[in-house]
Structures are given as structure tokens and as C-alpha cells.
Structure 1
Amino acid sequence: MNPDTRKDENPTSMKICLITGANSGIGKAAAIQIARRGYRVVMACRNRGRGEAALEEIKEQSARDSVDLMIVDMSLQGSVRDFAERFTNSYEALDVLIQNAAIFDITKKEKVFTEEGNESIWATNHLGPVLLTELLIDSLDRSPQGRILTVASKGLVAMPFLKVDLEDPEFRDRKFSVTKAYYQSKTAQVMYTYWLSERLKGSSTTSNCIRVPSVRVDVSKYPNLPRFLRTLYSLKMKFALTPEEMARTYTYLATSNELIHISGVYFNEKHRPVNSSKYSRDPENVEQVMKLTMGYVGLTGPATEQAKST
């Protein structure tokens, strides 16, 4: 890290909240709200230029200087490992990890593979977040009460029978669908939340998941969107939550004393427990998906020990 933007309070005297994808949308709004609550917020962003611009806005709107920026590409495991090493060398503990970063471009027709050879949605939305969490478990355990918040989508409600394709999660030998790829990755994230919660029983660290509904986005960000979809999205956005409204749920789940011992829960935008699909809650299915996942990220056996030694 360019340790970086850190130049005010002693970082060991503040609770640390790491938010991936904190340069825009809900992540940025949550960074502002959590910084206002006295946390040191670490923004994990892919693009340095956009990250630095957001950093200044977050500092200004939160009236806090306790905001840092670190660069990571969540689609690349090498970048995630490098980030985790820099983070643990710079901060003694981690109190809250919010895995907010994700990609979903409805206009994408063809699958894209990263330079490491993984399908980009599977890599960014699932593999990267799992690997980062595993690499930071020790940092979370050094907090009096570490919290891991994974982000899923309310769109899964419309796909109750969606499963993670254990044979071909990256669409190498089947027709690619950006929608199926996205919701498959989010299903896997829900399952990781449950699996991790079971694994962390007896520790002070909790693992929960947030179900995000429609949130307003700038449609101009998608210049290739067909006209009918642009019209549909514009209408949909009128009824969607603002990023600031959704960020209140992030903030509550990250900071509320009411959540100290709550783990393995799937929360909606009103921070109420809801059920995920029957498939995603089945322990055998969870084990199968996590075995697949750990193979992808190079972890076998006790994941934390493997993560530290790889």
C-alpha cells in the first residue's frame, strides 16, 4: 500500500472497516456512513483514478480524514493475495469486511476470461471475495468481534431453482448467459456465508449476507444498452432504493451492537432475516460448492492455514 492516505489518527485506536468496490454506488455511500460512525474505512478499489476521486468525496461528505485507499483487482487471485499481504502488514486487525464489489453488465453477450484463465463474473463475484476473506480471517479474529458481510441479490427470488453448475461454473462448454453467470455467482456467495458461519462457530467472528434489491444506477454508464432496456431500466429506477438508503442496511449490520452474536443469516434491505433458496441452504450442496470453490482458489483442507501458506 502507499500507506498511503493514512496520516491522522493512530490506526490501532480505531475500528477498521474494509469495503471492496467502495468508489461508487452502495459501497461509496456505506463508506461515508461508516466513517461518520468513527471507523477507519479502507476502500478496496480496482481503478486508482476513480478510487482517489471517491476518496476525497468520502472524506468531505463524512467530515473524516480516517479513510484510506488500497488498490486490488478482485478478478485476479494474484492481485487479491498481494492486497491481503499489504493489508495485514499495514493494519493490526480487521473489524468489518464488506464484500461489496461485483460486476454485472446486462449487455454482455460473450463470456470474458481473465488473464489467469477464469470467467470474469465467477472470478470477480465469487472466487476473489472468498479468497480475500480466507486470507483475512486471522485479521478478523484479532478483532474483539469481527464481522464478514457478503452481498447477494434479491433477483435470486425469481430464480428459486438456480444451481451452481459443479461441472461447468465458467460456461466453458455450455451457452453463456450473463444473467445466469451473475446469479450463479451470487448463489455461491450465499452458500459461502452459511459454510463460513458454521466454520467460525466458537470464534468471535460472524458471517452474514445482505440481499440487495433494485438500487438506482446511472443508466448512462451502459451506452450499449438497447433502447427498450434503457426505457425499462429508467422506469425501474423510479421505484428503486437510492445507494444511500441501501447503505443504511450495510451500516447497521456492520456496526450495530444488536448483531454481535448473530451469524449465518441472510438479511433483506430492511435488515430482517429471510430465506434463500432451498438448494442454497442444503448442507450437502453447500459442501459441494465450497469444495469446488476451494479448488479454484488453491485452498484445500483447513482453508485458513492453506491460504496463509500459499
Structure 2
Amino acid sequence: MDWEWRDIYSHPLWMVSTLILLAIVRARRKPSWTPRSCAVGLKGKTAIVTGANTGIGKFIALDFARRGARVILACRSESRGSEALEEITEATGNQNVHLRLLDTSSLASVREFAARILEEEKGVHILVNNAGASGLPRKITDDGLEITFATNHIGPFLLTHLLLDLLKKSAPARIVNISSMNHWKGEVDFAHFRGENLNHLMDAAYNHTKLHNIIWTNELAQRLQGTGVTANSLHPGIVMTEVMRNYNFIIRFLFNLVGFFFFKTAEEGASIPIYCAISEEAEGISGKYFDSDCLLVLPAPPARDPALGVKEYEVCERLTAKL
């Protein structure tokens, strides 16, 4: 039987054992920065958070609302988004929180959302691309894209691209793209975007998209130099969220069992994106990758390849321009 070392990394036991080890290490470390230690206010600022109805996204939006920002909850589900809106408004007293529907797996939905933002908003100062999914079944979207890539990468790319002029107009502004340490297991094959040459075992597709997120972010940062808009990516940590909802019962059970004792809560996981979005320490930093302790670290080698970054941007522009 032919196999490669990479096959081991895709095995369920490897994933679970790695999560346990990293969670134990994480549990022994104290966070270097927390939102409560930051007094930065956001009154007069507008922030968009995708996937804001649950998990990390909801706590990011909650924090921004507490700081007085006008917050746009970009959610796929109207019912769950409405629940999050009510909860955030009640908890913060901020009546300037709004729900707008967005499904990043659909480029038509992305364009409709962006058009409404451009029509309604005078400025956007923070864009957090948080929406994403793992373990999705094999599917090609109506746009001809593999659904995990559409949801996690192409949709966020198009959204950011459509809002760039408004972000520049609002400068200083920050773009925060949530990636994952799993990007180290990712590979670059642009045929993946359309579901070709793609292995759907475990979280392989998710890992690839998270690598592409960093490659794109770094190239975006280069293109934004001198505009007052920064773009960074990050790993929020191993967090107890609904990211495993598309996996089978056994995997979900193991994840939740280990996570109950060792993983970060969604609120803790939101700290790193919040840090990148508002902290004075991150001001002016662009094209970098932050780890789960708010530290600047080097991402995987492909994410540091400038030529690959140019290719990444060109492919995404071509795909979205035709759709």
C-alpha cells in the first residue's frame, strides 16, 4: 500500500492527539493580551464582522459594540443573526448594531451584501473576515467553485475587494482575516478552487483554504501600502466553536470532550482578532501573521513566497471577475 507522511497528518487520531497536546500547552500559558486590558473606544467607527451570529464572530461583534462602534453583523442565517443581534444589543445597550445577510459561499450574495454596504455606509474602519466552515460535504457551488474554498476564501476575497475603496476612504482602517495553525498542513493547488485534485479526507480542504487566506492577506498588504489600510491574518487558538458541526458524531464527541477541559472558549478565541482590529500595539502592522498569544510568528513557507502571493491574487481576481 502506497502512503506518504502527509497521510498521517490527515488521520483522525493524529488530529485529535495534536489538539490534545496543543491544548495542554495552551492551558499552561497565560494570555499576553486581553480585550479588557484595552481601553480603545470605537465611537464613530463602523465595523463589519462576518459569521457574527455564533462563536468567535459573535464575541468580536459584542466587544466592538461595547466600545461604541456601529457594528454590522454579516450572517448567513437570518433567524440566528437576529438572535445574536438581540443578545448583543441587550448586553451592550448599543442600538447601532445591525444585521445584514451574507453567505460567503455564494458570490451573488457577496455582491448583494457589498452593494448594500456601499449604499448605506459612509465608511468602514474594520473588516473581520471570520465566516468559515470545515468538514463540508463534496459540492460545487452555482459559481463552479468547491464549496469550502468558496466559503472560506473566494467569498471573503471578493467581499474585501469590493469594499477596498470604502476602506481606503475610511483610513486608518484594518482588515483582519482569520486563518488557522492548520495552514501548515495545507497545500497550494489552484485546481482545488474548482474541486479538482482535492482530497476531502477530514479537514484537508479546510487546511488548504487557511493557507490561501494567509497568502492572499500578505499580497493584499503589499498592495495596500501607503493607503492607511492594514491587512493581517491570525490563528485564534484551538477554540470550542461550531466549526466541527459538519463532522460525524465520533469526531464531534472527541472534540467536545477534550475541548471541555482544555480548549479556549469562543470569548477567549475572539481576543486575537480583537487585538489585531483595535489594539494600539498592532497599529501600522500589516502583512503579518499572529499566533494565539498575539505574537508575530512566521507562517508556513508558501505563505512567505511573494511570487505565489501575486499568483494567488491574480487567480482570485480572474475567478471573481468572471462570475
TM-score normalised to structure 2 length: 0.81
SS at match of 2:156: helix
Would you say 1:45 and 2:69 are equivalent positions? no
Measured in 2, the distance between the counterparts of 1:40 and 1:228 equals 38
Structure 1 residue identity aligned to 2:238: S
CA offsets 1:157-192 (integer angstroms, 9 cap, x no match): 4x2xx3211234333355433511111111111011
The reply to whether residue 144 of structure 1 matches residue 171 of structure 2 is: yes
Partner of 1:215: 239
Aligned twin of 1:155: 182
1:118 corresponds to which of 145, 154, 165: 145
RMSD across aligned C-alpha pairs, in angstroms? Answer: 2.2
CA offset digits 1:272-291 (Å, max 9, x no partner): 10111011111112222222
Instruction: Give the aligned partner of residue 195 of structure 2.
Output: 171
Q: Is the 8 A contact 1:214 1:237 kept in 2?
A: no
Question: 1:9-88, aligned counterparts within 5 Å?
Answer: 14-88=44-118
Once residues 197 and 233 of structure 2 are traced to their aligned partners in structure 1, the CA distance between those partners, rounded to angstroms, is: 31
Question: Residues 237 and 187 from structure 1, CA distance in 2 versus in 1: closer, same or farther, beyond 3 angstroms?
Answer: farther
Structure 2 counterparts to residues 240-279 of structure 1, below 5 A: 240-279=263-302
Separation (CA, whole Å) in 1 of partners of 2:321 and 2:176 = 23
Q: Distance in 1 between matches of 2:54 and 2:198?
A: 33
Matched AA of 1:254: A
Task: Name the counterpart of 2:219.
Answer: 195
Give 1:231's aligned residue: 254
Say if 1:154 and 1:123 are closer, same or farther in 2 by CA, change over 3 A. same
- Give the one of 135, 155, 165 matched to 1:128: 155
Runs of 4+ in 1 over 6 A off after TM superposition: none
Q: How many aligned residue pairs are there?
A: 282
Report the CA distance shift for 1:175/1:153 in structure 2 as closer, same or farther (over 3 A).
closer
Percent identity reads: 33
Q: Which amino acid aligns with 2:144?
A: G
Query: Secondary structure in 2 aligned to 1:238?
Result: helix
Gaps of 5+ in 2: 1-42
The answer to whether the 8 A contact 1:118-1:170 is kept is yes
Q: Report if aligned partners of 1:164, 1:289 keep a CA contact under 8 Å in 2.
A: no
SS at 1:150 equivalent: strand
2:247 & 2:198 partners in 1: Cα distance?
A: 25
Whole-angstrom CA distance in 1 between matches of 2:224 and 2:247: 44
Label 1:210 to 1:235 Cα distance change in 2 as closer, same or farther (>3 A). Answer: same
The reply on whether 1:93 has 2:120 as its aligned counterpart is no
Structure 2: distance between partners of 1:218 and 1:75: 17
Q: Deviations over 1:20-75 (max 9, x none)?
A: 00000000011111111111110000111110011000111223112111001111
Q: Contact (CA 8 Å) 1:21, 1:44: kept in 2 or not?
A: yes
- State the partner residue of 2:38: none
Residue-by-residue CA offset, 1:196-222 (whole Å, 9 max, x unaligned): 000011111001111122101369x84
Stretches of structure 1 lacking an aligned partner (at least 5 in a row): 1-12, 300-309
